[in-house]
Amino acid sequence: MESQLELNQERARLRDKYGQLLPAILEAELRVGDHAYAEGALSTMHKRLVALGVALGRGCTNCILGQTERALEAGATVDEILEVTGVAVAIGGTMGMAESLRVVRFLEEMEKL
């Protein structure tokens, strides 16, 4: 069984390596994110929860782990994150469930559950 914490650490390591290899590209992508997730009509936390829902629907492991982590950092509760997974299951059926289980495992490994 793969560790979600280790996958997330590897994601961060590779992102940093990518930034060394193509700094302008990573900087541009980060600037877009800074604008997209800035406080506005929706809070940063709510935007991170929306992004988590999109990531769950797309099945993007890196995105799921990153958005779960960032949602927590932005103040989301475990219950709010779990509700997002419920929506993913409602929209995505068994695929939504499969990706949601990754979030549960990640939260367990973070000792949030």
For 62, residues 6+ apart whose C-beta sits below 8 A from its C-beta are 7, 11
Q: Can you give the pLDDT at residue 1? A: 73
Q: How many CB atoms lie within 10 A of CB 15?
A: 14
- What does each C-alpha distance from 15 to 19, 23, 30, 66, 102 come to in angstroms? 6, 10, 11, 11, 20
Residue 37's identity, in one-letter code, is: Y
- Residue 39 main-chain phi, psi, to 5 deg: -55, 140
For the entire predicted model, the pTM comes to 0.95
| Residue-wise pLDDT tens digits, 45-85 | 999 999 999 999 999 999 999 999 999 999 999 999 999 99
Residue 68 Cα to chain centre, angstroms: 4
Q: Can you give the pLDDT at residue 4? A: 98
Domain ranges of the chain: 4-109
CATH code for 4-109? 1.20.1290.10
Q: How many helices (H) and strands (E) does the chain have?
A: 5, 0
